[in-house]
């Protein structure tokens, strides 16, 4: 049985206050950006807000052809997303997410809750999913949950409880299994997947991509996965957190360098695969404050 360093999630006191400071600012910035064009997500409907001159890269479907005919100048319609926009956030709770410190699951959970806060402030319906059910929440709900839906700011507490119950476990269902089970609602216009993707191929995640859906992949790594020197010097036995085996290695400069090359190739390969399908991939270290990856993921 592999003993993981940081398998659980604990929100520090003051974390929600940071969320409250972060989310409105990002939501407002996002509104300004998406309201000015560039968003084409699935949703129940878009509200017309006005026009602006056409810029290169705007969706031709948004061009107001009647105005073009009348003024001989291209204008695009500015649409405002309606409250019925749907987001889905999926958090990987497989064993590898328990690696740390700081724990990758902890970091992913913080980012997920921040994104959810941004979503509900943008009047979106945000569904939050764990790839495997966590431990019982202890709030009277006897069963273990794997997802909640949040529509208002007040619903964030449910999301917080769900994430607090998340436990990284070897052998638990990962992202690939989650995709296969069709956990993500078909109608979700924005799908954000948070995990390390060590056990999931890009192709498996790309199955989530749909027309009219924005798929964003967030990859979180522990510092020791970025920097072998964090493992210390000398001999160390590296263990697969999914429990498939162990490997005794002698950490040297050359082995660290070689590992760095492999990691770079891995990340570049994934980035290329995602970029081909216009999927954004964001990578961060688990010791980064959640605001940084959350801002990068949501584009605030």
Partner 1 sequence: MTTLLWLRPWWLVGLVLPIGLLVLVTLPRRPRDVPIGSYRLWAGLGATVEGGRRWRRPDPRLWLTVLALVAAIFALARPVELSEPSGERYTVLVDRSASMGLPVDPSAPAGATRHAVALAALSAWAAERALSLDAPLELEWSASDLDGPLVTRVLPGGASVPPAALARPFARPFATHDAAPPYELHDRAGVLWLTDRGPEPLRATAFFAGGAACPGPIGEDRGRLLVWDGDDQVVEDGPVPSSVLQLDGSLPEFLVELVSVFAAERGWSVRRGDGVADETRARLTVRGPMASNEAPSEALRQLSREALRVGRDGWSGRARDAAPRPSNTSAAPRGGEWLHAEDGRALVRYHSGAIEVDFATLTLAPGTEAAAVASWAQLFDTAAGALPDVVALAERRAAGAARVVGPGSDPTATTLERGGGVDPGGRLHELRGVAREFAPLFGALAAALAAAAIRSRTTSTRFHPLPGRRRRDGPGGENG
Sites for partner 1 among residues 265-284 (CB under 8 A): 266-268, 270-271, 274-275, 280-284
66 is an interface residue for partner 1 by CB under 8 A = no
Q: How would you class 68 by CB atoms within 10 Å of its CB: exposed for 0-12, middle for 13-18, buried for 19 or more?
A: middle
Nearer CB in complex with partner 1: 20/287: 287
Site string for partner 1, 203-232 (x = CB under 8 A): ------------------xxxxxxx-xxxx
Q: How many Cα atoms within 13 Å fall on the side-chain side of residue 179?
A: 22
- Please choose, out of 14-22, 40-48, 124-132, 184-192, the segment that lies near partner 1 by the rule CB under 8 A: 14-22
- Please choose, out of 35-43, 77-85, 104-112, 136-144, the segment that lies near partner 1 by the rule CB under 8 A: 104-112
97 is an interface residue for partner 1 by CB under 8 A = yes
Strand partners, 47: 80
22 is an interface residue for partner 1 by CB under 8 A = no
Touching partner 1, residues 134-173 (CB under 8 A): none
1 is an interface residue for partner 1 by CB under 8 A = no
Please enumerate in sequence order all residues whose Cβ is within 8 A of that of 290, keeping only pairs 6 or more positions apart, or say none.
18, 22, 107, 110, 111, 114
Pick one of 55, 70, 258, 277: the residue that binds partner 1 (CB under 8 A): 258
């Amino acid at each position: 049985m592999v003993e993981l360093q940081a398998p659980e999630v604990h929100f520090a006191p003051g974390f929600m206050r940071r969320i409250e400071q972060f989310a409105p600012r990002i939501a407002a910035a996002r509104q300004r950006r998406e309201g000015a064009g560039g968003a084409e997500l699935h949703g129940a409907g878009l509200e017309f807000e006005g026009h602006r001159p056409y810029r290169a890269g705007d969706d031709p479907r948004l061009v107001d052809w009647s105005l073009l005919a009348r003024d001989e100048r291209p204008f695009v319609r500015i649409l405002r997303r309606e409250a019925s926009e749907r987001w889905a956030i999926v958090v990987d709770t497989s064993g590898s997410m328990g690696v740390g410190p700081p724990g990758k699951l902890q970091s992913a959970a913080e980012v997920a809750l921040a994104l959810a806060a941004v979503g509900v402030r943008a009047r979106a319906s945000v569904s939050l999913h764990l790839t495997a059910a966590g431990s019982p929440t202890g709030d009277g709900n006897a069963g273990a949950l794997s997802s909640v839906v949040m529509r208002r700011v007040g619903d964030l507490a449910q999301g917080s409880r769900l994430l607090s119950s998340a436990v990284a476990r070897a052998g638990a269902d990962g992202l690939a299994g989650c995709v296969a089970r069709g956990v993500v609602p078909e109608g979700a216009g924005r799908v954000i997947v948070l995990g390390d993707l060590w056990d999931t191929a890009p192709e498996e995640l790309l199955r989530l991509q749909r027309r009219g859906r924005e798929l964003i992949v967030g990859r979180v790594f522990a510092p020791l996965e970025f920097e072998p020197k964090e493992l210390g010097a000398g001999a160390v036995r590296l263990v697969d957190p999914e429990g498939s085996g162990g490997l005794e290695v002698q950490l040297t400069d050359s082995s660290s360098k070689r590992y760095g090359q492999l990691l770079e190739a891995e990340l570049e390969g994934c980035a290329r695969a995602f970029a081909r399908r216009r999927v954004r991939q964001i990578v961060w270290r688990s010791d980064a404050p959640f605001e940084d990856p959350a801002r990068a993921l949501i584009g605030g």
